Structure 1
Amino acid sequence: MGLTAAPPPDHAALLQTLVARARNGDAAAFSELVETHYDGIYRTAWRWCGDRHDAEDIAQEVCVKLGQAIAGFDGRSAFSSWVYRITLNAVRDWQRAGARRGRHADAYAEITPADQQAEQEEAATSRQLWSAVRRLPEKQRDAVLLVYAEQLSHAEAAAIMGIREATVSFHVHEARKTLRVLL
């Protein structure tokens, strides 16, 4: 009688179980969901706003919103898509609030010694690119960030944005043309 390895865990089924438990008020399950998704929430918020402190604030706000909204998650979309939507809405709220206060958030690179010149130039180029992306019209910016920064397919981005896949492709195409002018 030989021993066989246990089958690998089905991550989708595990996620569904956690979501169901969290929807029913299980704090430990909710905590595990937040822990699993927090890095993605923060990364998304940072790419949209470009400032570490603001991204932390947005990520914390998203976690609060998730706690308030988890009971209403109906499973029609993937949980990760639902989390992205909440994150994007929180970023847009942050941007609107910042515009009302006259705030402008820019990402700043840390200045390093001259022996790091190539890294500084690469960081400056990257910073300029993301700064230009953040100045794109909303739909173009969202499409570019989801497709290039989050490395989602056009279909996944379409599901998150609530539009057709072809429309995502159009927004990405238009963003490229706009970025050529901005850069």
Structure 2
Amino acid sequence: MDTTDETLATAAAAGDRAAFATLLQRHYDRVFALAWRMTGSRTEAQDLTQDICAALPAKLRGWRGDARFTTWLYRVTVNAAHDLRRRQATHSRAANGWGDWELARQDGIAEDRAALDWLQAAMTRLPPELRDTLALVLGQDLSQAEAGQVLGLSEGTIAWRMSEVKKRLRVIAAEEAR
């Protein structure tokens, strides 16, 4: 006479490898079929079934025998499928968040590039002395005092030139906006 699933489960929980192998042989296809129905993917179902089988020895230690073994095993399978869905949803949200961040970063880079291109084009419309001052202060990131030293001018003159640059760039931008 065949040994019942419940008897095999109790023996497997106690470490009986033969009992565990018999349980797997009897129920592997059922677990796989349920996993396939729940995931909708043969590949995911195969992976999920393997994960369930690998975790089953530890889970069997918690089996109390209150329900039929097959009922308990189906519940383990359903829980594993739900866990898989939650992990996939979390990964998807994380990937989407990363994608949104990357798109925003790329947009920022494009905006910075457009602003720089505009500034370079607008600089050609400035008188050479203002263009030189702007190139040193913004382009080379020099302080006004350092730019003054390079150009042989006072810091006050550099400050006035930068003020003049801002005024003229606003005028250029307003002309282009029309």
**Normalised by the size of structure 2, how large is the TM-score?**
0.49
Q: Please tell me whether Structure 1 or Structure 2 has the larger radius of gyration of its CA atoms.
A: 2
Decide which structure has greater helix share: 2
**Normalised by the size of structure 1, how large is the TM-score?**
0.48
